[in-house]
Every structure is written in structure tokens, then in C-alpha cells.
A and B are shown apart, each in its own frame.
Chain A
Amino acid sequence: MSQKKTDRREFLKRSAAVAGAVGLGAAKPALGQDHEHTPVAPEPEAFIRGSDEMTAYGSRSRFVNSVRIPHGGRESPDAFGLDFHIATPLQDSVGEITPSSLHYMGTTRGSFVPDIDPDKHRLMVHGMVDNPIVFSMEDLKRMPSVTRKHFIECAGNRSRSSHTTIQETHGMTSNAEWTGVLLSTVLKEAGVHADADWVVAEGVEEVKGASSIPMAKAMDDCLLCYGMNGEPVRPQQGFPLRLLAPGFEGIFNVKWLRRIKVVDEYYMTYNDYGHLTRDPVNAALGYQIGPKSVITYPSGGQQLPGAGFYEIGGLAWSGGGRVSRVEISTDGGRSWTDADIRGTAEPMAHTRFSYEWNWDGSECELQSRCIDEIGQIQPSRQQALDFWSTDGERATFVKGQDNSIQPWRVASDGSVHNAIS
């Protein structure tokens, strides 16, 4: 805390010095950029007439056009209407919650979104339990519930040099407020046998996607979600019921959930097979999401209007728990200063950070670094590649899930670029 205060004082001193310098230089107005002069006070373009639609379910302004994009080198929807990967526009995000309509989507091989009547949907819990149970959605909503914020991230969410925007580099993660029943509540209700070590969670989409989840995780914080951001989970997110395995790679968060089977060994489902490796290090890193962060503003493809004050903003998260600290570098990783955490850092949730920055108008590189509550530190790409390099061979690819630091280069003309080499 005192460290933070010191940093803040230092910052204020530096800011004052910068402001003083600008005043002395006197080449630019102290109040930043000059907008077009308006002879009268602002007025709207028009007035929106009320409609039944707007009464029933509101929509955003016609001037707000932030949208998701297909991701992963494949169209969504494709010629058959299958969705594969869809990335969220993080460049436009404010706060911590991803709007449901902009939440990223991933499927294992391209999938139609199941159109499920919630009155007919059922969840079966069976296998190594004393009391197998079939729940209707109504049944589940009678059970004790929790509401928690959690991020989900696709294992393939990694920055490549060909990417220009944050939507491409980091758009396969989102954060929502989820409501539902703890899986542990349901498992205790069913009475899990002492020698059961895993659960297999299965969805109802065409591939009936299924993942093995360790019992310790299932009993810790996995959630059977029917609510998302204050309304039912969206169809693309698993309506009417999805599993949340907080902090685990996206594929464990089984959508359109119909079955939980309690078993005594790793089931090696097709989803599990996707993680198959004989490298124990790779296996360990392709499971729980590491500490990660990214600056959302300014980020690749954005344009700063000129030198002066900016609040750098971004998101940090970790599969290991809460974000405890975020650091910012404005000099390409040579020096680091604490950013401010906005709101409250919650376990396995996107956490917003900010940093007050006076840009002097010269080229620079912005980076952010996440440190989580169990002491894991987000690595630079260099550090991650060093780890994966052997004596003879220089690694060029971060194995497992890539949580390395994202550098954004701000050019002197204010344009912002992906600085991953």
C-alpha cells in the first residue's frame, strides 16, 4: 500500500514536471486537442420514437457499432451455418463485464447452436453416486444458488505478429456474471462415492462435446449456470444450462449441459484427447489459465489524437485466483509501475486496471503484467520462450496456453500497433 502511495506521489511529481515543461514550451494549448468549434450547445441528431421492440427489449444506440468477428482462420457462420470461433471486441470494452451479445464463442469443430426448449431440457447426474438424479431446469432453480463473475478463455487465445487488433490477439476471452448452482451442491445431493476421482460433463450439441474434470475442481467451484449477466444464458453460451469450470481452459466449460457422469478415471474423451501430450510440462500448462493481462486502450489499430493525458485501461485475469497486482511499462518493459485496480479483484475474473499516463508524443511501447494472488507472474514473450528453449534449439512458440505479455507500440503519429515480433 505504502509502495503504491509512493508511486502515486512520484507520478504526481512527474506529471507536474511534464505540465510545467509544456507550459514553458507553450507550443501547444495546455488543454489537449482542439475539437471542431460548435457555435451552439450539443443537440441530438433526432429523437427516437418509442416502439414495442424498444419497450420490450432495449437496444444500443445506432452510433454504437462494436461487433464480434469470426476468428481462428475459419468463417462463422460457414456455408452450412456452423459457428466455429467468434472473438469479442475487447478494444471497445469498459468495466469488467462482457455484454452477453458480445461474449466470445468457441466450438470444438464448428457447430450449430442447439435450439433447446428449457421446459424439456434435463440434467442427469449419475455414475458413481448413491442417488442418481435427473433435474429439470425448474428443479435446478429451486436449489441453493450463487452469483459470481468469471472469465472464460479459449486455449487458442494467443497473439500472433499477423494480428493487428486486440480483438484478434485476445478476443477469445470474455467475462460475465454467472448465476447457477454449485456443482458440489448437486454432487453432494447425489452422494459421490469415495473412490470417484473425475466427472465427465457432456453437452447436447451434435458432437455431444464431453470433457473430464477432476473431482477436486468439480467439488471446489464449478458452477451449473442458467443465468448470465442478469438474464438466461444465451444460446451461443449454452442455453439453458452450461458448466463453468472457473480458470480452466474454455473447452472444460461444457455448454448445453445434459449430463454429469461421476467416474473413477480420466475418460479420455475426444475433448480430452485434444490435450494429449507426453511432455509433463506442456500437460500442466494446458489446463489452468495462467496470469494474463492486456491493455485495451490504447491497443492495436487505435489512434491517439496527440500528446497529452490518457488513462491507459486494460483487463487482467488468472486461472490461479484473484489478480493481486498489475504493472504497467511505457518503455517496452524496462521499468514497471503499479497500475490501479478498478473495483474489486474477484477469483478467476477479469479485473479492470488503469494507469494515468502523459504521452510526450514520442514513439513508445506499452505493456502490462499481471501478478496473481498465488504469486504467478505473467511472463514476457522472451521469458516464456527462454523457458521453452533447449541448449541447441531456440523456441519460437509458447507451448500450452500462451499468457505472455502483449506489447503495443505507439508511433509518434499516435497510431497503435501490435509489437509482437
Chain B
Amino acid sequence: MRLAKPSTIKRGTALRALRTLLLLPLLVIGLVSVQAQSPTYGVGRTPTENEIRLWDIAIGPRGEELPAGSGSVDMGSELYLSKGCAGCHGTTGSGGMAPRLIKRDAGPNADPWDYGRVLPIRSPYATTVWDFINRAMPLGAEGTLTADEVYSLTAYLFFLNDVVEDGTELNEKTLPQIQMPNRSNWVQVPDWLPGQPRLEGYPY
């Protein structure tokens, strides 16, 4: 919160001083709201830094939460078989009962949206792919992959989709820097406000 500079009152005209006085109640309200940032009820306990770090598996687009580690396309191709990915997603990344992981052939100069709904090519951010493998794969053994294994599998899926070259190694620094083809090729939903229609100008 910004407080009025004391010098403003000294230098200003009577009118300005009066205006500041009129603003005073607002300032007081402002102070109260600042104080409201400390707990009102005091229920619950404060987690430790370590506890937060261990719980926090949500990786944002900037990748700040990514754990230290690294992995390679080569390692990923081995893990893809040894961890059972191929069993559901197909040995080539398609043809299994689980969602397809390799882009469809859309010809040269294809629009990224023509590759189909394939996470490691359609996702605007590399972090979404890392995050989902880490939290939700493999089926029945979720959460068992090490950070290095997740970096490797992510690298392999990006290689399958021509996002990275063969031999690429990924770590917590390089992964968020990958420019996914859809990085800017999507729209955010409009800002949500209470009581607003779904879409301005849409009567339904």
C-alpha cells in the first residue's frame, strides 16, 4: 500500500491538504486491509519449507518448481519400454489403447494444430508434459518415476515429435526454455468476473 508522502501536505495548497484529509478514512481502511493479511482465526499450522517443497508437484510454465536432474533422449527410449509406456501407448507412440504420443503426419509446413491432440506436440509448454508424466504416469505406478527418468521420458517424447533433436539432454534449466510450436498459438479464456455472461455478445 502506498501512503501519501508527508511532503505533499507541506508543499501543497490548503485544498490539497483538505483532499488528503478527506482521503484519511480511506487510508485507515487501507491499513485495516493490510492487517487482515495476518491470520484472523489462527486455525491450522504453518508448514515447513521442506514440507512445501515435497508436496509441491505443480510445475508452472516458468519451470521454477522443477527438481534438479537431467535425462536424455536415449535414456528415455529405453525407459519407454522398461517402464511399460509402450504397452498402452504403442511401441511407436501410437496404436495403443492410451492416448497417442506421436504427431500425425500433416505434411510439410503443417500447422501445429493439424498434428492432432497429442500432448508432447500440442502443449504450449514443455512443463505440462513433464508435470503430467511426473504426477500421473505410469498407470498403476504413478509417482514412482525419479526426476531423471521424467526428464528422459519427456526428452524422448519431444524427440519423437521433432521438438528436440536426437541426443538432446534436458534438465531443470533447459526444459522450460524449449519453444513448443504452440507456445503462443492458443487463447486464454476471458477474465472471469462474477455475474458476467460466458461470452460478450453471445445471447445464449
Contact = CB atoms under 8 A, between A and B. Distances in A.
Contacts of A376: 197-198, 203-204
Nearest to B122: A276
B128 A210 contact: no
Interface in A360-415: 374-379, 383-384, 387, 400, 403
B192 A217 contact: yes
A288 B142 contact: no
A273 interface: yes
B199 interface: yes
Interface string B111-123: 0010000010011
Given A214-B192, A290-B204, A321-B195, A143 B60 contact: no
B27 interface: no
A208 interface: yes
Interface residues of B, number: 55
Interface stretch (B6-14, B102-110, B156-164, B181-189): B181-189
Given A276-B186, A291-B204, A191 B198 contact: no
B128 A207 contact: no
A320 B131 CA distance: 32
B55 A124 contact: yes
* Interface SS, B side: loop
Interface residues of A, number: 70
A190 B52 CA distance: 14
Contacts of A142: 41, 43
A409 to B, nearest CB: 23
A269 B128 contact: yes
A284 B199 contact: yes
Nearest to A266: B188
A162 B160 CA distance: 38
Given A131-B39, A374-B197, A124 B52 contact: yes
B44 interface: yes
A287 B189 contact: yes
B151 to A, nearest CB: 18
B177 to A, nearest CB: 16
B195 A374 contact: yes
A162 B22 CA distance: 67
B80 interface: no
A94 interface: no
A277 B55 contact: no
Contacts of A283: 187-190
B123 A268 contact: yes
A270 B127 contact: no
B204 A214 contact: no
B50 interface: no
A281 B44 contact: no
B38 A284 contact: no
Contact of A270 (B124, B128, B197, B198): B128
Contacts of B60: 263, 265, 267-268
Contacts of B39: 131, 133, 189-191
Contacts of B57: 202, 208
Given A133-B44, A216-B194, A284 B52 contact: no
A207 B194 CA distance: 30
Nearest to A194: B1
Contacts of A144: 41
Listed residue (B46, B186, B189) with the most chain A CB atoms within 10 angstroms of its CB:
B189
Interface in B144-196: 182, 185-196
Contacts of B51: 124, 134
B28 interface: no
A320 B202 CA distance: 13
Nearest to B64: A263
Contact of B204 (A135, A207, A259, A383): A383
A160 interface: no
A285 interface: yes
Interface in A126-152: 126, 130-136, 139, 142-144
B189 A261 contact: no
Given A126-B47, A126-B56, A202-B58, A320 B198 contact: yes
A273 B43 contact: no
Given A319-B198, A387-B204, A280 B187 contact: yes
Given A109-B136, A126-B52, A279-B187, 11 more contacts: A130-B38, A133-B46, A191-B36, A191-B37, A207-B142, A216-B191, A216-B194, A273-B122, A277-B187, A278-B113, A378-B204
Interface of A: 109, 124, 126, 130-136, 139, 142-144, 188-191, 200, 202, 206-208, 210, 214, 216-217, 220-221, 258-259, 261, 263, 265-270, 272-273, 275-281, 283-288, 290-291, 319-321, 374-379, 383-384, 387, 400, 403
The 4 closest A-B pairs by CB, nearest first: A191-B37, A379-B204, A207-B136, A284-B199
7 contacts: A124-B47, A133-B45, A134-B44, A142-B43, A206-B142, A287-B198, A374-B197
